[in-house]
Amino acid sequence: MGSASRRAPKDLARSGPKGMSSIMNIVDRMRRRHRINRENRAIERAYASAPTQAMRDEIAMFAQRRPF
């Protein structure tokens, strides 16, 4: 039983960086989602303000080719 109590601090130390990396993943996902939503709003504005159908077609083509 003495060995189990010795393992506890090591297990806690190991869970620290793993927990930190999952927090970083959450933050990265939030930033990515924010960027995607921002780009989508910009494309919607450009599409709505395009004076001709040809320009709207080009904006739609551009929007489809975005890497995510």
At residue 13, the pLDDT reads 46
Residue pair 59/47 in contact (Cβ under 8 Å)? The answer is yes
For 15-67, how does the pLDDT look when each residue is reduced to its tens digit (9 = 90+)? 555 677 888 899 999 999 999 999 999 999 999 999 999 999 999 999 998 77
pLDDT of residue 66: 77
Output DSSP code: residue 51: S
Residue 21: predicted pLDDT: 85
pTM for this prediction: 0.62
Q: How many whole angstroms separate alpha carbon 36 and alpha carbon 65?
A: 13
Q: Which domain holds residue 32?
A: 2-64
Tell me, what's the pLDDT at 68? 61
| Cα→Cα distances 63→22, 37, 41, 58, Å | 31, 12, 11, 9
